[in-house]
Amino acid sequence: MRITMRTNLAIRTLMFCAVNSHMTVRKSDIAAACNASENHLAQVIRTLGHHGFIDATRGRNGGLQLMRQPAQINIGSVFRIFESDLPFAECFSASNTCPLVDVCWLRDAISSAVDAFYRSLDKVLLSDLIDGNDRLAELLRLKLGCHREGDRATHETLPSLTFPLTTTTAI
């Protein structure tokens, strides 16, 4: 199984925003840290904003921030948003042309495997990916008092941040 680049960028974007929750971040900061195209990132950011994961403000003083605490962002939900419109195999597509569709039992096995995949991701919260992950924080953390020259930020880094875990069920 392989996830799409959009899903991968969505998770990277959420992790970047969570690690840098103390400030508004720029799309270019995320692109540089995550080795991503700003054009692809723009599409992902639009979708994350539309679904209430991030707040994206345009303009010179604009940027991105999480709209929810990391403990309220369910990774399975993010995957479903970005992967749901792509059929896993041809037999799941509305334009299916496979002549075996009515007699093939593989479809049920694949369906069960995909359901198990999503159930597994439903147990993971964004906070699970970032809390205590100092190496990730080191890679994604923006610098204090950033002076940007091009896309480079300079100065010292902020201390590692953690978010309190809540017992609320994430959707």
Residue 166 has pLDDT above 50, yes or no: no
The pLDDT score that the predictor gives to residue 155 is 37
pTM: 0.77
Backbone CA torsion sign across 160, 23, 67, 42: negative
| Helix boundaries (H) for the chain | 5-19, 27-34, 38-50, 75-83, 106-122, 126-130, 134-140
Q: What is the pLDDT of residues 70-106, one digit of tens each?
A: 999 999 999 999 987 766 666 677 777 888 878 888 8
5-85+126-153: CATH class: mainly alpha
The pLDDT score that the predictor gives to residue 143 is 62
Q: What is the pLDDT of residues 103-158, one digit of tens each?
A: 888 888 888 888 899 999 999 999 999 999 999 999 998 765 443 444 334 334 44
List, in order, residues 6 or more apart from 78 with CB less than 8 Å away: 7, 10, 11, 14, 48, 53
How far apart are the C-alpha atoms of 66 and 14, rounded to whole Å? 7
| Domain range annotation of the chain | 5-85+126-153
